[in-house]
Structure 1
Amino acid sequence: MSQYWTAIAQLMLLPLCSALFTLYTLPKFLPLLLQKNLGGFDLNKPREHQTEKTPEAAGIVLLISFCIFSAPLNSHLRVSLISAGLLGFVDNVLDLKWRWKIIIPLFQLIELGMYHIGLGCIELELPFMNLKLSYLSPFLVIIYSIISQNLVNIYAGINGLEIGQSIVAQVFLFTYVTIRDGFSSILSLNLDFAILTALFVSGSFVLYQYNKYPAKAFVGDVYTYFAGSCYVASAVSGRAVVLSIFLYFMQIINCGASLPQLLKIVPCPRHRLLELRKDGKLYGQKCNWNNINQFSLKVFRRGLFEYQLFNYLMIIQIFVSLIVVFVALYV
């Protein structure tokens, strides 16, 4: 019983301390980021209304918070997730080429693969099928984590989207595992999963207050790399890898729509922008269907304010995630 209440205390206090640390530290870090030229103008808003640059790479504060308050987690998990965030920060500073974004994580995420070895094998929970891939599983986890980092990174472009999509996916993953296994079972047998999810969501929620429309800070690659790796680590520790893929349906669709540009079959600008018109609304580019943001605006056939587009995308993700979790649990 004492272990149960110790787990409850950790699950409550660590995320709370992480959120308070992020809340206190973030405003103090933002001017420092600007001093180091880590900032930029919001390209979805009129330039004449922006008197100064918006700080970028604000996700570094969440990473620092994670370093401090994640001590109870498995050491393999901590090393892999912290190194993923650091790689994102390096990308923010040095603007790494795509090949290094693939090659470096192959080695950096070995710790995550080692963590998975201790859990056994990946079981693909598909109808009429239960495949065990014990020998391939560490490699598959590393590849999945690399893909996840970049899926979050390219599904962006409007205020709050990187954080919003990550919180929704993490919350529904946690909901599924909790209903499937029971909360008491998670506390006694899988505390890593619960603490990791709670730390990430609590810190991300605070960061979202600065990144939501109109953004006071951009999260940067440091956040997207960290968020993608946290999601895969949560899926692995919660033994819900297959379900986690379905919960990433928005990111996967966006990546599929973006492949012609990512593979340079068609030109790919550095910032795949929406069209901002004088009425303050965003419109899809006439000949550009390169991501979900563009596609959504074309479906609505009218302009949307940036916060409206964000709300629509979140509603779609939440609705489909509900269906995915319901089918996985009850069908």
Structure 2
Amino acid sequence: MIGANSVLTLAVNIGIAAISYVMTIRMIPRFREMFIKANLYGKDLCKKDEKVVPESLGVLIGCVFLVAMFFFIPIPFTFGDAASAEVATTGGRSEVFPYKEFVELIAALLSICCMILLGFADDVLDLRWRHKLLLPTIATLPLLMVYYVNYNSTTVIMPKFARMFVGNTLDIGIFYYVYMGMLAVFCTNAINILAGINGLEVGQSIVIAGSILLYNTCEFLLQHQLDAHLFSMYLMLPFLAVSLALWKYNRYPSQVFVGDTYCYFAGMTFAVVGILGHFSKTLILFFIPQILNFLYSIPQLFHFVPCPRHRLPKYDSNTDLLTISTVTFRAEELNFIGKQMVNIFRFLKLISWKDHADGRITTNNFTLINFVLVIFGPVHENIVTYMLLGLQVICSIVAFFIRYPLANLFYDT
């Protein structure tokens, strides 16, 4: 059972999260002009007036989160039940201090801090995609080292149907660390590529954060790994608070843009709690829409199909609606793999298709946003955002069904 001191620590964390929300709400309007003066702004292309909007506000949100967590650092190690975890002898007297938990929290904040810095560098320097894949890997190294020193558990529980072949568990060794490193890369970039319309990046992050907190609560009730899920809640509550404050200004019509910094910050925070909270496999279930968007985007992300720099939907100023953005190419420009992918997508009616008299082909850009517009036709930007967030909620419900009722059919828990 969770102790009284940990309940007090959690209550303090909730209080700090509430203060973070208020601070963020007040700070964003005060910093908007400062970002514009620093040339950190963009035009909202999905509006008639294409007004100038301050960009990269994610760095401000990340800083508020870090400050909140810095103030929180002493609390669990002063009042929490974990404070009696280890006994060390210093100067001839015994002192009680939870070194492992302390190092975990510091390493988690270090990785998040690194990702905020690297994300802001991306916003300012406009880095290439290969750098966007490398940066999260580097930022995850402190996290993986702490996991190695404190746990080094690389054993995977096997489903019932496979146990007769490999046993109840399977030690996959270094591949588990490769998986965790790839998890961080996926989480940071998956939110970044499902983006581009008002409120979508922040909105999906809020739903994922809420899903993680609900999962932590369920595991508390089931008495599973209490300390690990308490650690997750310590990070998720302030994150959810600052994200809700940002949502107020980023939702339609956006007064601020979050930039790649927020996407990296959010993705790394999710990866941190998944890895150190020991539910990295469950975390993936909360990213079902992002996985679908990634799979749908593969032909363009890997350049099997021509990929423009920006794949945002087009804005029709006459109707104030969004329509699909398109890419035009000739069939001979595609290699064998590209042709097969396009044929499969066309057969499944997952893309629009138009043949021109001169032999050119026009199809929509391969993003989940454009796919919604292919299915439903021109839709208002605000409606598209809520449709995608509704999908995120539905997928979270499916994730809980997979994690509990369905998992019980294949595992003993």
Per the normalisation by structure 1, the TM-score is 0.91
CA distance in 2: counterparts of 1:84 and 1:20, whole angstroms:
24
Say whether the 8 Å CA contact 1:284–1:298 is kept in structure 2: yes
Change (3 A) 1:17 1:120: farther
User: Which residue is 2:332 aligned to?
Assistant: none
Instruction: Describe the SS at the equivalent of 2:364.
Output: coil
Pick the aligned partner of 1:251 from 287, 290, 312.
290
* Deviation of 1:181 (Å): 3.2
Query: 1:330 and 2:405 equivalent?
Result: yes
**How many residues are paired up?**
327
SS in 1 for 2:133: helix
Are 1:241 and 2:247 an aligned pair? no
Answering whether residue 380 of structure 2 is matched by residue 305 of structure 1, we say: yes
CA contact (8 A) 1:88 1:223 kept: yes
Q: Cα–Cα, structure 1 residues 123 and 324, in superposed 2: closer, same or farther, change >3 Å?
A: farther
**Letter of the aligned partner of 2:388 in structure 1?**
L
8 Å Cα contact 1:55-1:218 kept in structure 2: yes
Flag the 1:5–1:250 CA change in 2: closer, same or farther, 3 A.
Answer: closer
1:57-84, Cα deviation, whole Å (9 max, x unpaired): 0111111112211122710000001110
Number of the residue aligned with 1:9: 11
**CA-to-partner distance for each residue in 1:129-168, whole Å, 9 max, x for gaps?**
6544454333322221012111111101111110111111
Structure 2 counterpart of 1:109: 140
Indicate if the aligned counterparts of 2:219 and 2:225 stay in contact, CA closer than 8 A. no
**Quick one: distance in 1 between partners of 2:381 and 2:393?**
19
Q: Does structure 1 conserve the Cα–Cα contact (< 8 Å) formed by 2:137 and 2:184?
A: no
CA–CA distance in structure 2, aligned partners of residues 3 and 119 of structure 1: 25
User: 1:299 is aligned with what amino acid?
Assistant: I
Q: 1:217 aligns with which of 250, 256, 260?
A: 256
Which residue of 182, 187, 198 corresponds with 1:143? 182
Q: 1:122 and 1:13, CA in 2 relative to 1: closer, same or farther beyond 3 A?
A: farther
- CA pair 184-36 structure 1, distance change in 2 beyond 3 A: farther
From 274, 283, 296, the equivalent of 2:372 is: 296
The normalised TM-score by structure 2 is: 0.74
Identity %, equivalent residues: 29
Greater CA drift, 29-38 or 116-125: 116-125
**Deviations along 1:82-121, whole A, 9 cap, x unmatched?**
1101100000001111222223333222112123232443
Matches of 1:183 and 1:317, distance apart in 2? 25
SS at match of 1:70: helix
Quick check: 1:10–1:195 contact (8 Å CA) kept in 2? no
AA of the residue aligned to 2:390? I
Q: CA separation of 1:115/1:94 partners in 2, compared to 1, >3 Å: closer, same or farther?
A: same
Partner of 1:79: 110
Structure 2 CA distance for aligned equivalents of residues 16 and 183 of structure 1: 27
Residue from 40, 43, 49 that aligns with 1:41: 43
Does structure 2 conserve the Cα–Cα contact (< 8 Å) formed by 1:43 and 1:273?
Answer: no
Paired residue type of 1:328: R
- Deviation at 1:13? 1.4
Amino acid at match of 1:86: L
2: CA distance between counterparts of 1:66 and 1:114? 23
User: Following the alignment from structure 2 to structure 1, what is the Cα–Cα distance between the partners of residues 14 and 177?
Assistant: 31
Could you tell which deviates more after superposition, 26-35 or 178-187?
A: 178-187
Q: Is the Cα–Cα contact under 8 Å of residues 114 and 138 in structure 1 kept in the other structure?
A: no
Counterpart amino acid of residue 36 in structure 2: L
* Secondary structure of the corresponding residue to residue 109 of structure 1: helix
In the alignment, is the contact (CA less than 8 A) between 1:44 and 1:273 conserved in 2? no
1:121 touches 1:133 (CA, 8 Å); kept in 2? Answer: no
Cα separation, partners in 2 of 1:183 and 1:148, compared to 1, 3 Å: same
Whether 1:169 aligns to 2:208 is: yes
2:275 paired with 1:273: no
Question: In the alignment, what sits opposite 1:31?
Answer: 33
Aligned 8 A contact 2:216 2:233 in 1: no
Rounded to whole Å, the distance in 1 between the matches of 2:284 and 2:170 is 16
Cα contact 2:112–2:139 (8 A) shared by 1 = no
| Alpha-carbon separation, structure 2, partners of 1:324 and 1:123 | 23
State how 1:87-236 maps to structure 2 within 5 Å. Answer: 87-117=118-148, 118-121=150-153, 124=156, 127-128=159-160, 130-182=169-221, 190-236=229-275
- How far, CA to CA, are the matches of 2:296 and 2:268 in structure 1? 22
Q: SS at the partner of 1:40?
A: strand
1:124 positional shift? 4.8
Q: Give the superposed CA RMSD.
A: 2.1
Check whether the contact 1:174–1:197 (CA below 8 A) recurs between aligned residues. yes
**Are the counterparts in 1 of residues 216 and 229 from structure 2 also a CA contact under 8 Å?**
no
CA distance in 1, matches of 2:226, 2:32: 36
Q: 1 or 2, which has the higher strand percentage?
A: 2
- Show the counterpart of 1:22: 24
Residue 258 of structure 1, CA deviation: 1.4
Within 1, Cα distance between the matches of 2:287 and 2:400?
12
1:187–1:194 CA contact under 8 A, matched in 2: no
- Residues 76 and 115 of structure 1 are in contact (CA less than 8 Å); yes or no, is this contact kept in structure 2? yes
**C-alpha distance in structure 1 between counterparts of 2:222 and 2:247, whole Å:** 27
C-alpha contact 1:178 1:186 (8 A) present in aligned 2: no
1:283 match = 323
